[in-house]
Structure 1
């Protein structure tokens, strides 16, 4: 049984709850579960749950039917997101950890780190201590290997995960590793679990070769009960009668465990199959089955590896696998996690482990990304928000803007989300769900004056093709209806449409864009003000990458006034009154809705999610309470960000 305590509970009330449980025959332990302070009660005690639930300081009681109470989804319905430095594991992300089986030398671990980082890995794996079946096999470099690995991780901006094999090594390794790994052989080494759990650091727990799912989760319970809040489960294959692979990858365990537990689940395809040629297929199958990520063995020269060379991918194979994962991710409703690099160029020549670690660049020192070429409306919005001298990064698409902010190429991004005539830019709203580590930190509204733009010698009567973004066509529908013979060609953005005419020198092709785009590319305005309604405004949002605390930096140019607006996305169960129940929560708390729009959920026909903009209440505590209530009422909930509303 889990007793969730109210935030701000007094010491007296907490002690009274403890006494109440002890008097009724329970063994108790204090525990932090996410942001909640809880008391775990185990044993054969008997209690009236209704009476326990109304005790002062008790927020709710979760009676679990599982022996792994803290790891059970009955005690925590929402998925746990484990944070390791800039890396988040769980939720709608696919997190890839890569590196060699063992650290063999300073040069080997650095070369591997550079290659896997360039391909998209966000954490570095490698063994400093290796528990081997044979006492004569390579046992690792010990603490020296861990120091090499830590330096390589810092040089490439990747947290490291390494196996701890003995309780006495745990404290010694604690300052050098970012995440402990409990290997398959040690899954039921309970003294090791208790020692590592007490250190409070994130732990990657591998399933034992002969362990049942319940035994695996009970080992996770040891870690959680000992003190750590962050446990990631790792399926790495179990021992069966099959001999064609090293182990048998239990794909079915992934959805089963995710149903039983709130903890994220990774898969180690390298140990599962043990054959290099089969690793990528197993990895993709794991992603399709719902895994939150992978840990993959990669070695620059597998044939020379001192440990597990036959199952280690060549860097080129790993790069292909990452491309395949990126293509598969949207199909399963996820996004491949990327993190900012410490520098824009990583190579063995530019990184010297002995000379220190490159430092991440502050977001305010990086360019601001926008979709399109010079003269785009997004660039005008950018200059309005950041100033005309702000460094800029033009991106080929809206998604490329999100990518640039996510990988650290840009500190902030500017993206349109709504037009007063044509409505929402659904592509960008959908991108927020695919990029959970991107948040809205500001907004501004820009008046849009569309022009028909062409070459210097172009005439309206000779035009046969018009290019623009689909929103541009929609906003100029009345004007375009006058020329039904024009062929409309969609472009990624309005400025790109103008740039294409300038490059081609086409005299029978025109573009719909702003006057700034015409000036930027040396073209002329054939007709100005062609939008259907002169009150044509586009709402742009400023986006940034969330940091470890789930907050995102706010551009200094937006001022220091507190946020007064927030954007949410949620879905509800298909039953009468489910949406009304959510709206009622906000209404009763005095929260005003400024936007409510439904959108189909990709991959789920006839199911919908709701985009909501709200005015924030005067106190942050009120809104936090609303969010918690909404999470309890909704099927899926996303907080897109809070920001200062544009006037």
Structure 2
């Protein structure tokens, strides 16, 4: 059952309710949501719900209709985020788990571990115990293999996951792995599920060969009822009459699972297909369906692999797949998970109260629910504190003064073009540097008070770009409404909520509606769906290496000016070409205080090792002034 508590419920009343339920034989779990606090009570005991409703502090009692209670979204409407070492699975992130099917040697694990970590994997996989159809096939190295797996994981800063096949191995394995894997053949090994669940450690639960979705979720329930909340479901294909692939991928299970349970789901394209050439396209289908990650088999010599070589990617293939997933991620409103950055401590600041105090601070322009805030959470760990700022300059000031460790600012939109204010401010703050970038797909919704009817709306508020990007919808569906410019999309939602007027509406992203308790009246109303905004992440120099160390830097931003003579600009650009640096962006900007004189902003790839350093020296000689604004990893 679900016990919804009154907002005025005291700690003493909560303790009494919990103890009362435990005495009746229920397992009790408290869940604090955005709007209300609930207590979930699960067990075999039967009792009259009215005896709970009469307890002080209880607002209502709702029975859970699903046979899986703890795993049901009825119990927990918000998505569960599963922590595995320093990595989080679920929410708006896509996690790449990679490694060989089986651990074969120490050298193999160190080689493959380094390759997949460099390509973008954040969790290392490898089988030490291999349940095989044939008793004569390679069965794994056992504990020795776990030692090699853990050594490689520690060497490259990745948590590790490996399959467990016997209850007798639990105590031994938990010292080596960060996450247990329950394989398809053991999905309904209930004794194994109960023993693994009692460890309280995260579990990757693969779907059984012919299991229904309900059977799969009931297996998750065994784990959760035994003691672990960190269950990640893995769709790896089911057995059908089809023989063209190893299994039949049930991609429709992904959105179904997300509707039924709060647990995250990932996909296993290697076992779903069994064919190396099919792994990448099927991986993209899994991501497009909304999965929170992939587990992919990678081997540096798959033709010599002791297990599942034909379905294992070469490291170069996995690297390309990771880039493709990174490109697809913004389309589905997610970002590729990286090993969380350890941010330097920041000074005392008036941070957003929704984030824990004492952690690092990231500043952004706007109010809670803004697209810029979404870019922050995609770029950093979600427990980072955020500092909403009124203007772009306020963000720069917060970072320059040490009030914030990092700032996240929009620099370019695919429809609106360059945000010149960001470039101008960046050039005027020499103590700050660009350390990274993030991309966010801009999906606009019409937002208003609950129950608002379109025909009653008389004014629609949003940022001028938001209004311009939804002009066709406004013409077709709200010709009677006045479009009113506002300083910020999320700010417009906040304003509409404060006014309490059902004739007002706003255009903004879905997070803003959630933050301010309003309703989405119409989804995805932008005229052009290919609407993305690119954000720069800026910091002071002393914090730059912390962020840059998480990925391979491949792009530079710089600004230069040239003499007023024919061919001066061409000469500088020719230097880039001659040294093999591919230019990605060129903008001219007026130089303050010098009428009709301009500086030039350039983004360029770094080229071959050493090429960028040589280019800088040559550009410096050919220009009047030159400043490198930052080095970062481009999001392709």
TM over 0.5: yes
Q: How does 1:234-313 map to 2 (within 5 A)?
A: 234-313=234-313
Q: TM-score, normalised by structure 2?
A: 0.60
- 1:459 alignment partner in structure 2: none
- 1:417 alignment partner in structure 2: 365
1:413-456 deviation per Cα after TM superposition (whole angstroms, max 9, x unaligned) = 976626xxxx999774452364463644457889979xxxxxxx
The answer to whether the Cα contact below 8 Å between 1:102 and 1:306 also exists between their aligned partners in 2 is: yes
Work out the CA distance in 2 between the residues paired with 1:100 and 1:250: 23
Work out the CA distance in 2 between the residues paired with 1:85 and 1:218: 26
Shift of 1:32: 6.2
- 2:319 alignment partner in structure 1: 319
Work out the CA distance in 2 between the residues paired with 1:267 and 1:64: 28
Structure 1 position 195 matched with structure 2 position 195:
yes
Shift of 1:86: 1.5
1:603-645 deviation per Cα after TM superposition (whole angstroms, max 9, x unaligned) = 997899735899xxxxxxxxxxxx9x97795679xxxxxxxxx
Q: How does 1:124-523 map to 2 (within 5 A)?
A: 124-340=124-340, 363-364=343-344, 417=365, 428-429=372-373, 431-432=375-376, 434-435=378-379, 437=381, 439-442=384-387
Shift of 1:267: 0.4
Shift of 1:160: 0.6
Shift of 1:172: 1.2
Shift of 1:84: 1.1
Q: How does 1:453-602 map to 2 (within 5 A)?
A: 576-577=449-450
Give the number of aligned pairs: 443
Work out the CA distance in 2 between the residues paired with 1:214 and 1:74: 15
Q: Relative to structure 2, which stretch is displaced further, 192-201 or 9-18? A: 9-18
Shift of 1:338: 1.0
Q: Aligned to 1:296, what secondary structure does the other structure show?
A: strand
The answer to whether the Cα contact below 8 Å between 1:64 and 1:74 also exists between their aligned partners in 2 is: yes
Q: Aligned to 1:180, what secondary structure does the other structure show?
A: strand
Q: Aligned to 2:279, what secondary structure does the other structure show?
A: helix
- 2:72 alignment partner in structure 1: 72
The answer to whether the Cα contact below 8 Å between 1:184 and 1:208 also exists between their aligned partners in 2 is: yes
- 1:56 alignment partner in structure 2: 56
- 2:20 alignment partner in structure 1: 16
Shift of 1:328: 0.5
Q: Relative to structure 2, which stretch is displaced further, 103-112 or 428-437? A: 428-437
The answer to whether the Cα contact below 8 Å between 1:82 and 1:88 also exists between their aligned partners in 2 is: yes
1:146-180 deviation per Cα after TM superposition (whole angstroms, max 9, x unaligned) = 11111111111111111111111111111211001
The answer to whether the Cα contact below 8 Å between 1:34 and 1:229 also exists between their aligned partners in 2 is: no
- 2:28 alignment partner in structure 1: 30
Q: Aligned to 1:191, what secondary structure does the other structure show?
A: helix
Structure 1 position 610 matched with structure 2 position 614:
no
Work out the CA distance in 2 between the residues paired with 1:447 and 1:632: 23
Work out the CA distance in 2 between the residues paired with 1:428 and 1:609: 10
The answer to whether the Cα contact below 8 Å between 1:335 and 1:434 also exists between their aligned partners in 2 is: yes
The answer to whether the Cα contact below 8 Å between 2:340 and 2:380 also exists between their aligned partners in 1 is: no
Q: Aligned to 1:284, what secondary structure does the other structure show?
A: helix
Work out the CA distance in 2 between the residues paired with 1:255 and 1:339: 26
- 1:114 alignment partner in structure 2: 114
- 1:477 alignment partner in structure 2: none
1:268-300 deviation per Cα after TM superposition (whole angstroms, max 9, x unaligned) = 000000000000111100010111111110111
Q: Against the structure 1 CA distance between its residues 14 and 108, is the aligned structure 2 distance closer, same or farther, given a 3 Å change threshold?
A: same
- 1:642 alignment partner in structure 2: none
Work out the CA distance in 2 between the residues paired with 1:605 and 1:292: 32
The answer to whether the Cα contact below 8 Å between 1:28 and 1:39 also exists between their aligned partners in 2 is: no
The answer to whether the Cα contact below 8 Å between 2:162 and 2:181 also exists between their aligned partners in 1 is: yes
1:111-157 deviation per Cα after TM superposition (whole angstroms, max 9, x unaligned) = 11111110111101111111111111111111111111111111111
Work out the CA distance in 2 between the residues paired with 1:38 and 1:494: 49
- 2:455 alignment partner in structure 1: none
Work out the CA distance in 1 between the residues paired with 2:79 and 2:369: 29
- 1:591 alignment partner in structure 2: none
- 1:480 alignment partner in structure 2: none
CA RMSD of aligned residues (A): 4.7
Q: How does 1:88-103 map to 2 (within 5 A)?
A: 88-103=88-103
The answer to whether the Cα contact below 8 Å between 1:385 and 1:444 also exists between their aligned partners in 2 is: no
Q: Which runs of 5 or more structure 1 residues have no equivalent in the other structure?
A: 342-361, 369-383, 387-410, 450-468, 473-488, 498-511, 521-539, 546-568, 580-594, 615-626, 637-647
Shift of 1:107: 0.8
Work out the CA distance in 2 between the residues paired with 1:598 and 1:52: 52
The answer to whether the Cα contact below 8 Å between 1:30 and 1:37 also exists between their aligned partners in 2 is: no
The answer to whether the Cα contact below 8 Å between 1:441 and 1:543 also exists between their aligned partners in 2 is: no
Work out the CA distance in 2 between the residues paired with 1:340 and 1:41: 34
Work out the CA distance in 2 between the residues paired with 1:87 and 1:301: 28
Q: Which runs of 5 or more structure 2 residues have no equivalent in the other structure?
A: 350-358, 395-408, 453-460, 478-487, 496-510, 521-636
Work out the CA distance in 1 between the residues paired with 2:333 and 2:308: 33
Work out the CA distance in 1 between the residues paired with 2:391 and 2:153: 43
Shift of 1:16: 2.8
Shift of 1:64: 1.3
Q: Aligned to 1:255, what secondary structure does the other structure show?
A: helix
Q: Against the structure 1 CA distance between its residues 412 and 490, is the aligned structure 2 distance closer, same or farther, given a 3 Å change threshold?
A: farther
Structure 1 position 47 matched with structure 2 position 20:
no
